[in-house]
Amino acid sequence: MAQHIIELKNITKSFGTVYALGGVNLHVDPGEVVGLLGDNGAGKSTLIKILAGVIKPTSGEIVVNGERVSNWSPARSRAAGIETVFQDRALAVQQSIVRNIFMGRELAGRFGWLNLRKQVSEAERLMREIGFTSKVFSPNSIVGQLSGGERQGVAIARAILKQANLIVLDEPTTALSLTETAKVFHFVRQVRASGRSIVFIGHNIHHVYDIAERFVVIDRGRVAMEKKKSDIASAQELIEYMECVARSQGVTAGEME
């Protein structure tokens, strides 16, 4: 079996007296799309902030390619090839696609000047790689002119530029129409086809069911269920599992079988 690209072992996190995570195990394999589900306040954001290194776990281990990493931090997370596209995507909407993709990582030419031509051609390549097929937009188009799904694509292209092998998408389809959601799914599939992994967080169970190959349900700071898509017949069945989790008090996956 291929080595996990990242493994969180028995991660806990408390904020003062609030226990956000109570011993979570989560792994991601190369080239898979993991759907992370859970109600409001379940602990999903806390978990992905820990993955991104922006908050430190209270206890637990983080293992990258089989090796335990101590002093986990944003720099170590990036070095492990993890990039998170948070809900706000942090795009500068008045700026062009290419400027957004290269923000903070501009390519310099021989004399230290910006190599704009190289940035544009690299942005074109990245946009093609994630399946950005619009004939209307070029790397010089202003992000504010793009639709919600396309903006998500720019954020994904930026993550890929940073050599990510795992891209965490925090509710990328929330508030998007069907057409825009389909665009995001297309980008995710392209990224997956290039061998990268995705953690896809969503509240819409149908969306997560469609795009993910494995589902991890977080409930009150614990993994309440983990299943492969091949073990779940339909989105409806996944909804029923989620309802079962919501009704139960910390039931484990084994107990639900």
- Choose between 36 and 101: whose C-beta lies nearer to ligand ATP: 36
Examine residue 44 and tell whether it contacts ligand ATP (CB under 6 A).
yes
Helix H or strand E encompassing 5 = none
Examine residue 202 and tell whether it contacts ligand ATP (CB under 6 A).
no
- Say how far apart CA 93 and CA 153 lie, in whole Å: 13
Q: Between the CA of residue 36 and those of 103, 206, 242, what are the distances in Å? A: 28, 13, 12
Fill in the per-residue mask, 22 to 41: x = in contact with ligand ATP (CB under 6 A), - = not in contact: ----------------x-xx
18-28 and 33-37 beta bridge pairing = unpaired
Token pair, residue 37, equals: 């589900």
Examine residue 57 and tell whether it contacts ligand ATP (CB under 6 A).
no
- Choose between 14 and 138: whose C-beta lies nearer to ligand ATP: 14
82-85 and 166-170 beta bridge pairing = parallel
Examine residue 51 and tell whether it contacts ligand ATP (CB under 6 A).
no
Count of Cβ atoms closer than 10 Å to residue 177 Cβ: 12
Examine residue 45 and tell whether it contacts ligand ATP (CB under 6 A).
yes
- Say how far apart CA 155 and CA 231 lie, in whole Å: 32
Exposed (0-12), middle (13-18) or buried (19+): which is 9, by Cβ within 10 Å?
middle
Q: How far is the CB of 103 from ligand ATP (least distance, A)?
A: 25
The tokens 């390519």 sit on which residue?
Answer: 107
Classify 219 as helix, strand or coil: strand
Examine residue 54 and tell whether it contacts ligand ATP (CB under 6 A).
no
**Which 58-117 residues touch ligand ATP, going by CB under 6 A?**
none
Examine residue 42 and tell whether it contacts ligand ATP (CB under 6 A).
yes
Examine residue 15 and tell whether it contacts ligand ATP (CB under 6 A).
yes
- Choose between 19 and 185: whose C-beta lies nearer to ligand ATP: 19
Q: How far is the CB of 123 from ligand ATP (least distance, A)?
A: 31
Q: How far is the CB of 220 from ligand ATP (least distance, A)?
A: 9
Binding stretches for ligand ATP (CB under 6 A): 15, 18, 20, 38, 40-46
